[in-house]
Structure 1
């Protein structure tokens, strides 16, 4: 009977649908595989419908499962929004924000955002995790983070996104001769370079690879490194170059030892996306911090475009 349904049935069903795996879904909802399987069977029994086809490679929704997912997704979000409405305090924000940021923002954008936000909202706890897009997207999908800001790319089922701003990719290397640090360099005709690039789990990598493959005449050597601190250390101490987002590079623009050159002809850019779980409502405290962070990102992106492109 429908009256015997529990919210747990809906949450487990949505987790299995989005993960396409009972094992992954059980990890996401912090339950055992047998418990998730039992709740799923109960749910199908209550409805009198088969919601998934089980195979050796995973579980796949039936047509009935596709339709029920749309309903269950809306129900869970409505319940989340109801909970948020009840918990909202009119005078002062309170609660906890769990946000994920790229290393791009840790150096230049995070500190001013936190200082201004915490001065205005002293009763809010903010937990920040730094990571690359693949890691942060997974944490948002599992509910470990309220939101994250990542480079534009393919997103899994269950994630909604909104565009924040567009940044310019910059070729960075140690200065070898005098000259303006923002003079454009045509990477397309550059001699071979020792390039430090992020690994394939970074959403920026595919776009950079296409640029190097389709535009550049030279065969560059690639060192994969998913550490911004180590990248800057190598740029300072070795014969390396890197392609980095403009926001990350702006604090170094006055460094006389470094050359920062926007990639032009054609221009290489990176879009920043705010990602959240599509089945959860956004609490006011989370929305407030996300807005503050995105405002700071937009300010730096605008400053970067003016600085690098002299517009």
Structure 2
């Protein structure tokens, strides 16, 4: 019979792509992890992994076994969470990763509601960009994160969150009319602030500019939202940002918000969580409030 420890070892090697990293993650020795994998392969009569120059890769049988293995681990975690909630009520820590697009406009109301209604829930917020948050979720350092949509991968579960309209954000000195839709092709060459390559949105923005006549005079790479918004307000640099992050700029006094048209540009956002561990009961409470707030802002 395959033990739970052996199942965890299979999942760790599959997600880490390395016996060494799997051992660190599971607080075990490399030889111990190897023995667990060998025992499972012996019981099944099939190889689950093959060693390559790039590390360890799953065989076709390994990929099928991995999918069932994470279902087992998720079901056990779900059962444990529901039992705890039935006994003591919903309580415990929540570690959530949010991009600046969400922390600027959509975080505070949900946070206020959860703090008031569930005093036994302790929420820890990490603000970051998609690349960093994704790796933290994959490593189990976050219960979930809200990031731009992508194809996912081994070690992650991905679910839809919201679709948001992209806006050109500029300072008053650019002379654009606040709230007036614009075509990038109608504008002079722009000085554009963009996120780093690790951000999923970077490639999408560059592709849109190239495909729809947007001319770029100069690019500035910056993964610092306060810095981006401050530079836009004071100079002729512009940025393309989700509508959510523009909610506080409704008056147009400090920054002008211009919906991009012909065609409109949208970004899809998703919730990611570790594949092996479902979001806890307390995490679901916080995520439900976040989702409600975000959908309300996007629809307004």
TM-score w.r.t. the length of structure 1 is 0.89
1:241-262: per-residue Cα shift (whole Å, max 9, x none)? 1111111111012141321101
Of the three residues 56, 73, 81, the one matched with 1:84 is: 81
In 2, Cα distance between equivalents of 1:222 and 1:185: 20
- The equivalent residue for 1:174 is 171
- The equivalent residue for 2:155 is 158
CA shift for structure 1 position 165: 1.5
In 1, Cα distance between equivalents of 2:234 and 2:29: 50
In 2, Cα distance between equivalents of 1:220 and 1:25: 46
What value does the CA root-mean-square deviation take over the aligned residues?
Answer: 2.0
In structure 2, the residue corresponding to 1:216 is in which secondary structure?
A: coil
Judged with a 3 Å threshold, the aligned counterparts in structure 2 of structure 1 residues 298 and 70 are, in CA distance, closer, same or farther, namely same
In 1, Cα distance between equivalents of 2:82 and 2:174: 60
Contact 1:50 1:64 in 2 (8 A): yes
CA shift for structure 1 position 47: 4.1
Give 4+ residue runs of structure 1 displaced > 6 Å after superposition.
Answer: none
Judged with a 3 Å threshold, the aligned counterparts in structure 2 of structure 1 residues 177 and 79 are, in CA distance, closer, same or farther, namely closer
1:168-225: per-residue Cα shift (whole Å, max 9, x none)? 1111111127674111121123111110011111111121111011112523311110
Q: State the aligned residue count.
A: 300
- The equivalent residue for 1:259 is 256
In structure 2, the residue corresponding to 1:289 is in which secondary structure?
A: helix
- The equivalent residue for 2:269 is 272
Where does structure 1 lack aligned partners over 5 or more consecutive residues? Answer: 304-311
In 2, Cα distance between equivalents of 1:61 and 1:286: 31
In 2, Cα distance between equivalents of 1:87 and 1:113: 24
In 2, Cα distance between equivalents of 1:20 and 1:250: 42
In 1, Cα distance between equivalents of 2:24 and 2:132: 16
Q: Which moved more, 1:177-186 or 1:112-121?
A: 177-186
Judged with a 3 Å threshold, the aligned counterparts in structure 2 of structure 1 residues 61 and 252 are, in CA distance, closer, same or farther, namely same
Where does structure 2 lack aligned partners over 5 or more consecutive residues? Answer: none
